[in-house]
Structure 1
Amino acid sequence: MQTTTLSFENLHNHGELFANMLRARRELFIVHNKWDLPEALGMEYDQYDTPASRWVVVHDEFGQVLAGNRLTPTTARCGVYSYMIRDAQRGLLDTIPSDLLYEQAPVSDQVWESSRLFVAHNVPAGIRRRVHATLIAEIGRASRALGATSCLTLLAANWPRWAKRVNVDMKAMGPVMLIDGIENQVVSMNFASNLH
């Protein structure tokens, strides 16, 4: 099992890994979860997949994607868009309620957004926990390397069950909301204690 943090600067060094990650996102979010998301060439994408973002990918030695995540700075701007949680709060997204945070969405160099977090649907049950823990550990490492002390993320509301297993201090930042029949909640993952 390997981890790679992709950026527009290093995509060329990793062959099909970025495309494979977008294909894996499509397979899970569009095919399996039946979410209505943009797709092209068998890949899922949205307005936040820009050069400002990074993508953390857990994969095997052949480039098969096991898990992934997108990191976007909360300072990002692309037209009317910034980052998903803030744009939802601003009423720019129909699929996510605008009252998803207790406070105003942050705009800070030290806070990044973690979005499109997934473990591929075909990852065997016997290694899912290890794949998930590897993904979260790499998100922490990549976030710290980018200067972030925390990441905001919209997760299934069952996050308290696994937060300690992946050794990340997590805190609810908004109410539990029903989105597409699943209870979700915005959470802050604190990586400050791991900064050196």
Structure 2
Amino acid sequence: MIQIITCDNRRLFHHALMEMHRQRKQVFIDRMHWRLSESMGLEIDEFDSEEAMYLIDVDAHGDVQQSARLLPTLSPHLMSEVFANLCDDGPPRSARVWEASRFCPAPTIAKGAPRRELLARMIAGILETSILFGIEKVSFVAGAALAPLADQAGWSVRALGPKQRMGRERLVAMLADVTSDGLAAVRQRARLTGPVTRFADAGLARAA
């Protein structure tokens, strides 16, 4: 189940959050050699703020399988501060637009189909979370491997500009619409029979 973690319920998920930051360090710094800061074996950046929402996929044994971050675009975020040049008309900013970033599968997850299945679950989780919190669009930056998978997931998504080479990667900024039809299409393509998220706050509320 993908846990929706906000500033209100963050105290309930200390272990999962620390494991998320450890996995981000292992994946992005150790394996992919991104030039990111790390401290005490954790990858934490300036956008891991109180405003951030985290989606952490935890299996039946309590092990973190994947994670992602959602940020409000009215505040500084990756697309506005680092990747603005990818957007022909500038990064979208609105109370109803949030950015998804730091999609991170656990280092133990095999490449190929297992990771594609996780990505499909996370996209469904992003849509469920967005519907729950009144978010209408989700922006994100994708590399050459992720972009076609995100484009074919079933939701309505478009590029905000042409692909550009930055360092060793070709990146593209994208914007997805949040709709119930899009969520249904993502679930159908991923063979998901129902919600994948849970929001624990004064009891459990399951995303529609």
> Which residue does 2:127 correspond to in 1?
140
Partner residue of 1:183 out of 146, 170, 174: 170
> Which residue does 1:12 correspond to in 2?
11
> Which residue does 1:71 correspond to in 2?
70
Matched, 1:130 2:117: yes
Matched, 1:57 2:56: yes
Gaps of 5+ in 1: 77-81, 89-95
Q: CA deviation at 1:182?
A: 1.5
Contact 2:6 2:53 in 1 (8 A): yes
Higher RCO (CA < 8 A, seq sep 6+): 2
Contact 1:20 1:63 in 2 (8 A): no
Deviates more, 1:41-50 or 1:155-164: 155-164
Partners of 2:72 and 2:140 in 1: CA distance: 12
Q: CA deviation at 1:132?
A: 1.2
What is the TM-score with the length of structure 2 in the denominator?
0.79
Partners of 1:123 and 1:21 in 2: CA distance: 14
What is the TM-score with the length of structure 1 in the denominator?
0.84
Contact 2:67 2:105 in 1 (8 A): yes
> Which residue does 1:42 correspond to in 2?
41
CA RMSD of the aligned region, Å? 2.1
Partners of 1:60 and 1:179 in 2: CA distance: 35
Distance change >3 Å, CA 39–CA 63, structure 1 → 2: farther
Contact 1:22 1:44 in 2 (8 A): yes
> Which residue does 1:92 correspond to in 2?
none
Q: Letter of the aligned partner of 1:71 in structure 2?
A: L
Partners of 1:155 and 1:121 in 2: CA distance: 19
Show CA shifts across 1:77-119 (max 9, x none): xxxxx1111112xxxxxxx5x5210102222111001111222
Partner residue of 1:85 out of 79, 82, 85: 79
**Aligned 1:89-128 pairs, distance under 5 A:** 96=83, 98-125=84-111, 126-128=113-115
Distance change >3 Å, CA 165–CA 35, structure 1 → 2: same
Deviates more, 1:145-154 or 1:160-169: 160-169
Contact 1:16 1:63 in 2 (8 A): no
Distance change >3 Å, CA 165–CA 58, structure 1 → 2: farther
Gaps of 5+ in 2: 184-207
- More helix by percentage: 2
Contact 1:163 1:169 in 2 (8 A): no
Partners of 2:146 and 2:118 in 1: CA distance: 16
Contact 2:86 2:161 in 1 (8 A): yes
Partners of 1:119 and 1:29 in 2: CA distance: 10
Show CA shifts across 1:153-176 (max 9, x none): 000134553236532211001220
Partners of 1:51 and 1:139 in 2: CA distance: 19
Alignment partner of 2:114: what SS? helix
Partners of 1:186 and 1:6 in 2: CA distance: 25
